[in-house]
C-alpha cells in the first residue's frame, strides 16, 4: 500500500518562527512512522483577510486554490500551533476559512471536500513553559468542525526555541517519544480511513 500523504504546516509565517522548528521535528517523526510528508509554509500561500465581498468580486485567491489542491491530495494534516492569547493564530484561521470555500471551477477539490474524511493531529509550540497547551483545544474544535477526524494524541512543546536539536528530534526524550506515538497514530489512522 502507498504511504499515506500527510501535510505538515505551522500557523506562523514569521521568519524566525519557533513553530517552524517544531514542524520540522514533526515532519521527521512522520517520515519515520511511514508517511510521505509534505511540509508546507503558509508564506507560500498568501491570502487577504477573508471578506465575502472580495470573494464575490474576485473568487478565491490563486494561492488558496493551490492549497486546496494540496490538501485534497493528502490523507491528513498535522498543524503546529503558536498560541495567540490562548487560541489559534489569525493566519491559520484565515487560511482554513478560505480553503473551506467552494470553488465553482473545481467543486471536487475545494470547500468541505479538502477536509472531510481526513485525519488531523494538533501540536502546540510556545517559548513559554506550557507549550501552547490552551490553543490545542480550540484548534482541535475548529478542525473537527471542518469534518476532520482529529486524533486524541497531542503534544505541547514548551521552550520551543531550544526544544529541537540539530538532528531534528526533540531534545527531551519523553517528548520525542510522545511525538513518535502521535506520528504513528496519525499514519495508522490515515491508512485506515483510506482503506
Ligand atoms: C498576539 C500574541 C498573543 C500571544 N499569546 C500567547 C499565549 O497565549 N500563550 C503563549 O504561550 N504565547 C503567546 N504569545 C507569544 C508567542 O508564543 C510567541 O510570540 C511565539 O514565538 C509565536 O510563534 P512563532 O515563533 O511560531 O511565530 C503571543 C504572541 C502574540 C503576538
> Domain with 92 in it: what CATH number?
3.40.50.360
Sign of CA dihedral 148, 28, 66, 43: positive
Read off the pLDDT band of 194 (50, 70, 90). confident
Interior angle at CA 14, CA 10 and CA 20, nearest 5: 35
Question: Which residues' Cβ are closer than 6 Å to ligand 1?
Answer: 12, 14, 17-19, 82-86, 126-128, 132
pLDDT tens digits along 121-134: 999 999 999 999 99
How many distinct structural domains can be found in the chain? 1
Range of the domain at 53: 5-194
Looking at every residue in the chain, the average pLDDT score rounds to 97
Within 8 A by CB and 6+ apart from 133, the residues are 83, 124, 156
Interval between CA 82 and ligand 1 midpoint (Å)? 6
Indicate the top mutation candidate among 127, 137, 158, 159 to test ligand 1's pocket, ranked by most ligand atoms within 8 A of CB. Answer: 127
Q: What is the mean pLDDT of residues 74-78?
A: 98
Spatial contact of 138 and 93, defined as CB atoms under 8 Å apart:
no
| pLDDT surpassing 70 at residue 1 | no
Q: Could you give the C-alpha distances from 177 to 35, 66, 108, in angstroms and in order?
A: 17, 34, 38
Interval between CA 19 and ligand 1 midpoint (Å)? 10
Amino acid at each position: 500500500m502507498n504511504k499515506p500523504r500527510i501535510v505538515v504546516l505551522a500557523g506562523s509565517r514569521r521568519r524566525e518562527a519557533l513553530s517552524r522548528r517544531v514542524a520540522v521535528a514533526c515532519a521527521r517523526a512522520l517520515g519515520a512512522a511511514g508517511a510521505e510528508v509534505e511540509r508546507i509554509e503558509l508564506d507560500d500561500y498568501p491570502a487577504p483577510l477573508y471578506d465575502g465581498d472580495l470573494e464575490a468580486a474576485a473568487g478565491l485567491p490563486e494561492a488558496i486554490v493551490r492549497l486546496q489542491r494540496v490538501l485534497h491530495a493528502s490523507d491528513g494534516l498535522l498543524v503546529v500551533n503558536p498560541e495567540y492569547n490562548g487560541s489559534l493564530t489569525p493566519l491559520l484561521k484565515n487560511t482554513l476559512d478560505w480553503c473551506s470555500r467552494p470553488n465553482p471551477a473545481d467543486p471536487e477539490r475545494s470547500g468541505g471536500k479538502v477536509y472531510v474524511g481526513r485525519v488531523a493531529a494538533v501540536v502546540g509550540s510556545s517559548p513559554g513553559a506550557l507549550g501552547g497547551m490552551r490553543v490545542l483545544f480550540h484548534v482541535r474544535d475548529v478542525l473537527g468542525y471542518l469534518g476532520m477526524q482529529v486524533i486524541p494524541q497531542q503534544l505541547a512543546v514548551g521552550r520551543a526555541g531550544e526544544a529541537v536539536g540539530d538532528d531534528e528530534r526533540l531534545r527531551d526524550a519523553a517528548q520525542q517519544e510522545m511525538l513518535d506515538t502521535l506520528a504513528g497514530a496519525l499514519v495508522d489512522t490515515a491508512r485506515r480511513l483510506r482503506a
